[in-house]
Amino acid sequence: MRLQNKVAVVTGAGSGMGKAIALLYAKEGARVVVSDINVEAANLTVDQIKTSGGEAIAVMTNVAKEEDIQNLMDTAVTAYGTLDILVNNAGIMDNFEPAGDIQDEIWERVFAVNTTGVMRATRKALSIFLDKQSGVIINIASAGGLQGARAGATYTASKHAVVGFTKNTGFMYAPNGIRCNAIAPGGVETNIGASMTTINHFGMGRIQPGLGLNPRVGKPEDIANIALFLASNESSFVNGTVITGDAGWTAY
């Protein structure tokens, strides 16, 4: 039980990587607050955790809304007394638009979820972590946060921002027993594609050749295993950095 007696909040945990992380954390002894904008999906994750003997609650959260973030963290503390681990997993895609085709509405929506939501959840968690002088933050970035052509310009910029935010946060709060790291997944089987509306053919055409270099598509469980390592004491010397999980795709 590598997370025995820990309390974890996982956003976007109704499906995909977030769900895999929530299930694994619960298996390893954590009490998990399953957050998702789709509360029905979050409840299904909770049911699965409870069926396996774990402990969890579901909280409907739109991470783009400050009031939802406040409610999520307050609910976690009310239910379980504290917070030890925050996983900022919730995210959406753009439509592979290059800069010349970006629409303000999509830019603002993607940044609200992928970047501002991460900041707000982290800010709220830090108010808890600083009091206890301990805590772990794990941000799900992307290979698109390390390279220039894994998505459109908007998603790419949003995830680059998450990487920079992660490094700054990890360094700033290291003396306070708080660690902040990111995971940069490559291609993983999730339903994030459902957040896309109309694919930009020029942008996709430019990215397409690089997709052929991807050694393989991963499973959500592959990312969950990295998230477990980063949440556990085994990674106590790992802080302010990014672990890439992409089977070597970005190594080329």
Read off φ and ψ for residue 248, nearest 5 degrees: 100, 10
Which H/E stretch holds residue 181? strand 178-185
- The one catalytic residue in 25, 155, 173, 252 is 155
Q: CB of 243 within 8 A of CB of 230?
A: yes
80 is catalytic: no
Q: CB of 29 within 8 A of CB of 5?
A: yes
Cα-Cα-Cα-Cα dihedral of 50, 39, 107, 157, to 10°? 0
> In this structure, what token pair is assigned to residue 228?
């477990």
* Three-state DSSP class for residue 235: helix
> In this structure, what token pair is assigned to residue 142?
């992307």
CB atoms within 10 A of CB 17: 30
CA nearest 82: which of 42, 130, 45, 20? 130
The Cα 136–Cα 83 span in angstroms is 9
Read off φ and ψ for residue 126, nearest 5 degrees: -65, -30
Residues recognised as catalytic: 155
